[in-house]
Amino acid sequence: MGFGAQNCVAFRLPALRRDPDSGGRPIRGHLSLYALIALCALIEIVLTLSDLQLFGPPRLRQMAYEYFGFWPGLLQAWRPNYAAQPYTMFVTYGFLHGGPVHLAVNMITLWSLGRAVLDRVGQGAFALLYAGACLGGGAGFALLAPELRPMVGASGALFGLAGGLLAWAYVDRYASREGLWPVARAVLLLALLNLVLWWAMAGQLAWQTHLGGFVAGWILALLIDPRPVE
């Protein structure tokens, strides 16, 4: 199973300038982030209870993966479980995880990166960036994965948030004529993280999803908010 990476170095991203008009988002400004984390957590709780035979059918996780995971074969000759599956899987895979630990690390990363994005551009743009990165992650896996194994996890979208934050950091630093090494260093650290985890997980890391999400997030961030914050 091509689980998403735990983006531990996301907390080392260059400090991002906050839009002076935001004034720091109030709690209600983070409702979309709370809702996203709660939804992912609820899904994993139900699947874990099923694994423990405490709720629902014992094969519920397998069924969830079969119906809502990302299966590259569905873009070829495989027969889908329902007509829209080859399209909906570009979104639904991001709400499934490989277990409580996978979920916990991804949600901690989402909390850290999501707040920074919300402080920069607000809830609507955050939702657009997250959704676009999720789609980009699926596209990256579809184009670059050498096998037809399935993939689940929010890390494609998380790498998209990281890509967006780094894009904004690049714009801000370039506009103020500051050095760009912190941005380049963060990109290199993310690449190194993927390499190390790919090796540690014996090639079961969906690095293609991370790459697709990162590129999509970088591009979308520059379309959403191309102006530097002084």
Domain membership flag for residue 230: no
| Catalytic-residue membership of 210 | yes
Domain presence at residue 122: yes
Q: Is residue 167 part of a domain?
A: yes
Among 216, 109, 86, which residue's Cα sits nearest to residue 155?
A: 109
Establish whether 176 is a catalytic residue: no
Domain that holds residue 132: 20-224
Mean pLDDT on 34-57:
95
Q: Does 149 have pLDDT greater than 90? A: no
- Indicate the number of domains in the chain: 1
Distance (Å, rounded) from C-alpha 210 to C-alpha 5? Answer: 8
Which band of pLDDT confidence, cut at 50, 70 and 90, is reported for residue 218?
A: very high
Q: Please check whether residue 58 lies inside any domain of the structure.
A: yes
Question: At 77, is the pLDDT very low, low, confident or very high (cuts 50, 70, 90)?
Answer: confident
What is the spatial distance between Cα 190 and Cα 43, in angstroms, rounded to a whole number?
Answer: 28
**pLDDT computed for residue 17 by the predictor:** 54
16-32 pLDDT tens trace: 555 555 444 455 568 99
- Active-site pick, 30, 97, 102, 210: 210
pLDDT at 15: 55
Residue 217 clears pLDDT 80, i.e. is over it:
yes
Residue 3 lies in a domain: no
Residue 48 domain-assigned (yes or no):
yes
Average pLDDT over residues 122-146: 96
Percent pLDDT > 90 in the chain is 75
Per the domain annotation, does 163 fall within a domain? yes
pLDDT digits (tens, 9 = 90+) for 81-92: 999 999 999 999
In one-letter notation, the amino acid at residue 178 is E
Instruction: Return the CATH number at 186.
Output: 1.20.1540.10
pLDDT band at 148 (very low <50, low <70, confident <90, very high): confident
Give the mean model confidence (pLDDT) for residues 103-113. 96
Catalytic-role residue among 30, 50, 102, 155: 155
Domain assignment present for 5 = no
The pLDDT value recorded for residue 4 is: 38
For residues 21 and 65, what is the distance between their CA atoms, to the nearest angstrom? Answer: 43
Q: What is the mean pLDDT of the chain?
A: 89
Give CA separation, 41 vs 97, 102, 103, 228, in Å.
Answer: 9, 11, 7, 35
Which of 221, 62, 206 has the alpha carbon at shortest distance from 130? 221
pTM metric for this prediction: 0.88
